Amino acid sequence: MDRNKLLFPNGNPRNGAPDAFANGCETIIFEGAERRVGRDPRAMSVAELNAVGHFGPVLRAIRQNCIDCQGGAEAEVRRCALVWCPMWPYRMAANPFHRVTLSDEQREERRQRLEAARTRKAANP
């Protein structure tokens, strides 16, 4: 799939589609002039957020930002040395501060639950 279509499903505003994200903006009067500002995402529905190109979990959004920062090179995200960046620990789309240590019994129980879920999904496509 074309990366720009994935990132900008309504058109890339940087490539001549200035109204691509009109639903995510509102017009206000600021210092006597009209100005477009971003809407408060907390007041938007999931459908509205999806319409302006925001999908899924925050960690994936952080990863996508890191890919953009590295000029679109996913391999460079792994090699990133900007350790001062607040998003650096999350650049691999994982939270390094959320680690769970499982016993062998817990690991086996989770393996069985995953296997059962995959079986159910395969039976009901």
- pLDDT digits 0-9 by tens, 55-112: 778 888 899 899 999 999 999 999 999 999 999 999 998 888 888 888 999 999 999 9
- 13 compared with 107, residue with greater pLDDT: 107
How many Å apart are CA 108 and CA 95, to the nearest integer?
23
Q: Which two tokens stand for residue 124?
A: 């009901």
How many Å apart are CA 21 and CA 47, to the nearest integer?
13
How many Å apart are CA 54 and CA 24, to the nearest integer?
10
User: Cα 74 from chain centroid?
Assistant: 15
- pLDDT digits 0-9 by tens, 32-56: 888 877 777 788 888 877 777 777 7
Nearest to 52 by CA among 89, 11, 95: 11
Beta-carbon count within 10 A of 53 CB? 16
